[in-house]
Structure 1
């Protein structure tokens, strides 16, 4: 009987980044017996902001809060985020070529340092060892969403349909949201939900400026529904399960990809672009979703869609499973 594979899911611990690595690891686990170990890399404050090229002695730069990255090394190393690159690029040598190294996103590093790079199509990463995906890998799976919903059933079951989930990102290199834009969006969202006779499921991210968050809460607070304020258990997966319709700000590939995994109606909320030409990669991503009938722009009206969770507007997007199958095929071909 073969031993289960050991998989390390490595990141800097930020939820959005960690879930990409963990989601892919869990998808591999669905295909073959595996033990998953979550590893979080944290550099000391002195070195944290250094570019990857200057992290020449990464082990010595770690803080005491970082998990151990010492041997025995895993069969498969799945890493996401720039903080992991100094270790990912050294892992094959450290493990004596035993560990298969998988790097997610665009590593902005010599691709030959990795066995497999899994990057979003809109990043335009090219190479013999590159697999391009629509969006990002994630943890969205029906059984996981259903389990999460059980903890929120008493709060959500009686909310009127359509249940409209609003996912707000915020400030990034490409986008921003100020009070004025937040207020305009909130007014449109309020009107759309009231016209539909539905309810609100609102969640904001850590990147949402406080003033914008307060605007959404003030304008939408009296609608039937739930406004998650960041305290207590996160209802994010429960919202994915329960909502009939999604409105997602255009700055987040992760959130849009996760919604696309449900097969439910998705509309994109516009934000302010910080500079001329910024956000072009996001526009490529949204264009792909539009071409597949997954996403539509939001103009103050909920797009036509089935508001019954038993129906889907399009086949659920499952790029994580495709990536897991590709990864495992490579692994077995190299290490039968």
Structure 2
């Protein structure tokens, strides 16, 4: 009887051991968690921190844990995983080290731009702005993976003060190649306030940790000076970001952040992009790349390609009411990931049941 019991255990499929390797950026980590949750299998989060060796990059580091702090190395000790889900080029050396230690048994999925060939992974999931050459292990999705909104306590008093239709304006911040024009942001806010005055409803503004303080102060002054229900929610304040997305009827978002734009689109609400302008460095790099290699993206990521993909698929336009919800465009990535892990877990969609893939998705 004991022998038969052991044989029965050995015949049962073992639940794969999955590690979600998290880094420093919340937007990247949310993509890792979104994919791990959608697989419907148990997984363990490993929050990694890096030392100065991280600056060498994946090509120079190779397969090593040298770029990790001692505490993070300790997190990766013990039994090795069957699958890693990683993000950011800093994690590449770590993933390659785990694969080598496992003798190639550990499978790997990378979300984003690893800065090395996709043949180093079982699957790379990337959005259109990254300069990655086509490869069988690469799948491009038009928007970043999103965990969607999770219902929590609602701030009823707040929403009673800001009635529907609620127009949400999300502000990002400048990057090396792109800047937010205060005039452009001001025009976008004034347009939303004018619509609220003419047609009713309210306006809610929220920034991000990258939003310049002076821009937030100007937005706050503007919403306080009008006679329509309007407010600016402090970064990290209440209601939280996820609740704002859930209760908004339309969303306007500055075009600098792939993660924020993807979060907005994933809600199924009408989304409008607030344009941004190139910096001097951005203009020079993009002009050079357009002349020397017109068919390739400007490194390390070319937001122009991301915007083109959104417009081609009709995912952004005018933030007006009455637009049909967008389809779930990430289910193909989840299907590929489930095939790699070989698990039988019940998939948990990031936006409910799987729907149409949408036009033009590979």
**Are 2:200 and 1:197 aligned?**
yes
Q: Report 1:109-120 matches (<5 A).
A: 109-120=116-127
- Structure 2 counterpart of 1:11: 22
**Are 2:68 and 1:62 aligned?**
yes
Quote how far apart the aligned CAs of 1:57 are. 7.4
- Structure 2 counterpart of 1:272: 277
Quote how far apart the aligned CAs of 1:189 are. 3.5
Matches of 1:255 and 1:314, distance apart in 2: 20
Matches of 1:58 and 1:151, distance apart in 2: 46
Quote how far apart the aligned CAs of 1:91 are. 2.7
Larger strand fraction of residues: 1
Q: Report 1:82-161 matches (<5 A).
A: 82-123=89-130, 125=132, 126-140=134-148, 145-148=149-152, 150-157=153-160, 159-161=162-164
The C-alpha deviation readout for 1:113-137, integer Å capped at 9, x for no partner, is 1111111134253101111111211
- Structure 2 counterpart of 1:309: none
**Are 2:37 and 1:26 aligned?**
yes
Task: Using CA pairs under 8 Å that are at least 6 residues apart, name the structure with larger relative contact order, 1 or 2.
Answer: 2
- Structure 1 counterpart of 2:334: 324
Quote how far apart the aligned CAs of 1:99 are. 1.8
**Are 2:57 and 1:51 aligned?**
yes
- Structure 1 counterpart of 2:214: 211
C-alpha contact (below 8 Å) 1:176/1:273 kept by paired residues: yes
Matches of 2:105 and 2:209, distance apart in 1: 38
What secondary structure is seen at the aligned counterpart in 2 of 1:329? helix
Matches of 1:180 and 1:37, distance apart in 2: 45
C-alpha contact (below 8 Å) 1:79/1:104 kept by paired residues: yes
The C-alpha deviation readout for 1:58-116, integer Å capped at 9, x for no partner, is 52332356472223222221111122111123332222222210011121113221111
- Structure 2 counterpart of 1:188: 191
Aligned CA-pair RMSD: 2.6
Matches of 1:231 and 1:169, distance apart in 2: 14
Quote how far apart the aligned CAs of 1:327 are. 0.9
Aligned residue among 240, 247, 250 for 2:245: 240
C-alpha contact (below 8 Å) 1:250/1:271 kept by paired residues: yes
- In 2 relative to 1, CA 284–209 (structure 1 residues): closer, same or farther, beyond 3 Å? same
- In 2 relative to 1, CA 64–129 (structure 1 residues): closer, same or farther, beyond 3 Å? same
